[in-house]
Each structure stands twice: as structure tokens, then as C-alpha cells.
Structure 1
Amino acid sequence: MEWAALVAAGLCEVIGVIALKRVTKYRNASSYLFLVVSLGASFSLLTVAMMHISMGTAYAIWTGIGAAGSTLLGMYMFGEPKEWKRVFFIGLILISVMGLKWMS
């Protein structure tokens, strides 16, 4: 349950970054609502996960999912550079996240 909450928190973090991008383009009430709901859900789910997973592990995995997911979506949705180096280092983030899960 706590690992599912942590993964969901990371995915909500990615959605929150998309919402942030939307706020920069469209400064309207629905964009801000989308931002508040997505980041609120992310922090709430992270809180649930941290009741059973150590703070350092939970935070590292949450930020890893957020960083990797946001970078990948930026490359594919917003036309950011798709250099092999970026993909390589995203892979390292994901391997590190898996390592933390394996060690916990």
C-alpha cells in the first residue's frame, strides 16, 4: 500500500509540473486549480507513504519519479532536446530509484 502511494505521489508530482507549465501559458483559475490539486495530491500521498517508508528513501524515490517523468514529458510533449546524454542520465535516476526500493 505504501509503495503504491509513493508511486502515485511521484506521478502526481509529474502532473504538477505539467500544471506549472500550463500556469505559465494560461494564467486562469482552472490552471491554478489544476496545479493546487495535483501538488496537493502529491504531498498527501507522500505523507501516507512516509508513515511506513523511511523519509530519505521516500523522498529520493518521489523526486526521482518526478524528475525523470518531468524530463521525459518535457522531451515528448514540449519539444525539449532529446539528446542521448539526457536519456542516459534519466536511466541512471530510474536505476537508482529501483536500487533504493530493492534495499528497503
Structure 2
Amino acid sequence: MNWILLIIAGLFEVAFAACLGKAKESTGIITTYWYIGFLICLSISMLLLVKVTQQLPIGTAYAVWTGVGAVGTVLVGIFLFKEPATFWRLFFITTLIISIVGLKVVSH
């Protein structure tokens, strides 16, 4: 269950990064809504991370949390913000995914 919560925490990290990107593109009151979304997603992500680190090693949990966030944020950047999907970006995101899976496999 802790691993599932950790993945969810990472997805909320992706959401708060996406909110920042959308706030940058917005104007007026809409910007404020995106910043509120950022704060909500940030809070949920951090609370879940705190919860899972009570059972999982901090180094592993933090690495997986940031890895899920990094992979997800790059994918959101590509699909939502039309950032380039170059070979090297995709190559290194793939190696990051392999590393996250590897941490899960070797963790007790």
C-alpha cells in the first residue's frame, strides 16, 4: 500500500508542476486558481510522502517520489505544453524509469 501511496504522491507532484506551468500561461483571476491548485497538490504530495516515509526508507521513497515527478512532468511538458520530444530526452526519461523500477525491486 505504501508504494501505491508513493506513486500517488509523485502524481500530485506532477500536478503541482503542471499548475505552475498553467499559471505562467494564464492571466487575471485564472492565475490565482492555478496557484491555489498548486498549493493543494503540493500539500497532498508532501503529506503522502511524509506518510510513506514512516514505513519505507527515506532515500528510496524520496528518489522514487522525485523520479515519478520528473518523468511525469517531462511527459506533461511534452503533451500539454508542446515541449520537444527529442531522442535524448526520451532516452534519459527511459533510464530514469528503469532506475525507479530498480529501486523498487531491490528495496525490502
The two structures have a TM-score, normalised by structure 2, of 0.92
Aligned to 1:92: 95
Give me the whole-angstrom Cα distance separating, in 2, the residues matched to 1:47 and 1:61.
Answer: 13
Structure 1 unpaired stretches of 5+: none
Q: Identity of counterpart residues, as a percentage?
A: 38
Structure 1 residue 32: Cα displacement: 1.5
Structure 1 residue 25: Cα displacement: 2.1
Which consecutive segments of 4 or more residues in structure 1 shift more than 4 A? none
Aligned to 2:65: 62
Give me the whole-angstrom Cα distance separating, in 2, the residues matched to 1:2 and 1:74.
Answer: 27
- 1:79 and 2:89 matched: no
Structure 1 residue 24: Cα displacement: 1.4
Structure 2 unpaired stretches of 5+: none
Query: Residues 50-79 of structure 1, C-alpha deviation per residue, up to 9 Å, x if partnerless?
Result: 010000000000000000110011011111
The two structures have a TM-score, normalised by structure 1, of 0.95
1:9-20 matches, within 5 Å, as 9-20=9-20
Aligned to 1:26: 26
Give me the whole-angstrom Cα distance separating, in 2, the residues matched to 1:87 and 1:3.
Answer: 25
RMSD: 1.0
Give me the whole-angstrom Cα distance separating, in 2, the residues matched to 1:25 and 1:78.
Answer: 10
**Quick check: 2:23–2:32 contact (8 Å CA) kept in 1?**
no
Report the AA paired with residue 7 of structure 1. I
